[in-house]
Amino acid sequence: MATVTIYDVAAKAGVSIKSVSRVLNNEPNVSPTLRTKVEEAAASLGYRRSLSARSLAGASSSLIAVLVDADLTIEHWKSGRGSDYLGRLEFGALMEARQVDYHLMIELVDHNSPDLERDLMALLNSIRPEGVILTPPNSDNIAVMDVLDAAGTPYARIGPEAAFDRGFCIEMDERRAALEMTRHLIDLGHTRIAFVTGPVAYGASRRRLAGYRDAMAEAGLEVAPAWVVEGDFTFNSGALAMEKLHQTAPDITAIFASNDDTALGVLQCAARLGLSAPGDVAVAGFDDSPGAGFSTPDLTTIRQPVAEMAAAAAQRLIPPLRRLLKGDANARVIVPHDLIERQSTAQSVR
């Protein structure tokens, strides 16, 4: 396992190490002959540049760091609310990164740790990533962005809520998606459509609610106050909302919940109340979380394009990829979503 170094390649090709370096980095001023010689030597030796040497010598570290929130992850488990969000995110970023030999490093941060800034600074100091991908809730963490800006490290924020002038913002149009889903229900013949919100503190909740209202207004449908019930993105809150709606607005024919967990709760409670879905009440969710496809009935929902968002982030953070984007590398990107139609909204209203 003798390590193959640039010297070995240079020796084999009969040139200087600088020439090898030039070829490897696609620098100008290299004769085709030399290029060929070097490439052949490198290939035959199975040579690969050492990341650390490169990084130490001042070139790119070829590293993208993904900052994942520890608290949120733990909370998700405890509440039994896991998702493949992270897996999809990483995959999307990785598919881009691997093309140009970049690597992905996953780091845990506590978004409300008092040492956050010190820790983050230390992290940057120690691994020197070329770019950082911020996942919620760190996508909106001012302290994190400040440290990153101070370090001069570019960052992409997945699903940011505000301050859209900082970093690269990679989003989906949640308001629009909620509008489309509501419109979908209206097209199915529903007119009395209830909405279960998420926690008011979340911008996503507010945007989804706004989209619902947009669609209703657009169709000239009034929204009775009783139709909008507060939830908190959990299964339980969905069940409670269903119960409440059953009492205060029994004449509704469709319920649009702010996320899938909530919608699943609605579904379960409806069954308990003897209401069939979609027969008595159509139900729609948001996120396309795992499980949405396996409920009875399976859930009509909006698929968040997580992998695509991560890919867009990677394209903006990795210089060789950004160059390919040319002028399209806007700082704010809206990635298209999908409406996935399943059984929970299957038939039109009787």
Partner DNA sequence: CTGAAAGCGCTAACAG
Partner DNA sequence: CTGTTAGCGCTTTCAG
Residues near DNA (CB under 7 A) are 3, 5-7, 15-19, 21-22, 24-25, 28-31, 33-34, 47, 49-50, 53-54, 56-59
Indicate the residue type of 182: T
**How does DSSP classify residue 287?**
B
Nearer residue to DNA within complex by CB, 30 or 116: 30
Site for a copy of itself in 205-244 (CB under 8 A): 235
Q: Does 320 bind a copy of itself (CB under 8 A)?
A: no
Straight-line distance from the first to the last Cα atom of the chain, in angstroms, rounded to the nearest whole number:
72
Q: How far apart are CA 55 and CA 227, in angstroms?
A: 57
- Each residue 90-129 as x (binds a copy of itself by CB under 8 A) or -, in order, gives xx--xx--x--x-xxxxxx---------x--xxx-xxxx-
Nearer residue to a copy of itself within complex by CB, 76 or 213: 76
Q: CA-CA distances (angstroms) from residue 215 to 210, 296, 340?
A: 9, 27, 18
Residues 67, 124 contacting (CB under 8 angstroms): no
| From the list a copy of itself, DNA, none, partner contacted by residue 18 (C-beta under 5 to 8 A by kind) | DNA
Q: Does 56 bind a copy of itself (CB under 8 A)?
A: yes
**How does DSSP classify residue 162?**
S
Site for a copy of itself in 273-302 (CB under 8 A): 289-296
Residues 261, 289 contacting (CB under 8 angstroms): yes
Shortest distance, CB of residue 260 to DNA, whole angstroms?
46
CA atoms 197, 198, 200, 206: torsion sign: negative
Shortest distance, CB of residue 26 to DNA, whole angstroms?
10
Residues 224, 213 contacting (CB under 8 angstroms): no
Q: Does 53 bind a copy of itself (CB under 8 A)?
A: yes
Q: CA-CA distances (angstroms) from residue 192 to 111, 175, 216, 348?
A: 40, 20, 10, 13
- Each residue 1-20 as x (binds a copy of itself by CB under 8 A) or -, in order, gives x-xx----------------
Nearer residue to DNA within complex by CB, 23 or 193: 23
Shortest distance, CB of residue 338 to a copy of itself, whole angstroms?
12
| From the list a copy of itself, DNA, none, partner contacted by residue 19 (C-beta under 5 to 8 A by kind) | DNA
What's the full length of the chain, in residues?
Answer: 350
Nearest to 21, CA basis, from 61, 54, 45: 54
